[in-house]
Structure 1
């Protein structure tokens, strides 16, 4: 059974969102997603300043199994990327909810957070998959 962090919000595409402020969030992929992907070898994300749109691809994540899209759970502008992932993308496998985060996004539509699942809702969603 994969871990679900209680304090986070989740998308149906298995991304998590940590609310940092009213207009800023940190984003990553869930423990379930990283375990499904297998050993992650590369992450390709847009540079800070790039705009992202909720439910649209904001980059790719490559594992030994496949290349998968990373879907932005919110709309806004990337203001920071996790520098650790350039040299150590496998950090996502070992610590998806802390050291393995992907990006910090400045929200353009904070109300989109209401569309995301709570940890309990996400745990139920994963069980059904």
Structure 2
């Protein structure tokens, strides 16, 4: 079941590319879940909150669509670190809950932005910070 879901996610990733403008205003080719709007991300985050049982641990994710966005975010940050050799450890002081909370706040402010732009803004924010506190709710 999990492999089927991952195969579906990957197929969407490779079949829905587009061009977008990044925060630095140069064209970049965006794939898959990066095209989701911030308002769609917020809906998926809310679905995740409603789906989670009270016994869930902080790292357990129950909504597949929300999980796909988390994986996309992690992949984006990893890829950006790979190519930005001067800032290759951006986000090493973060955890999933903290990253998603920051992105949710961004998306509440800019609901029409693409998820990709939220990720790009988050990485730029991290570049300006010495340390990003991890979520303490674990």
TM-score, structure 1 as length reference: 0.29
Q: Could you say which structure has the larger radius of gyration?
A: 2
TM-score, structure 2 as length reference: 0.28
Structure whose residues are more often helix by fraction: 2
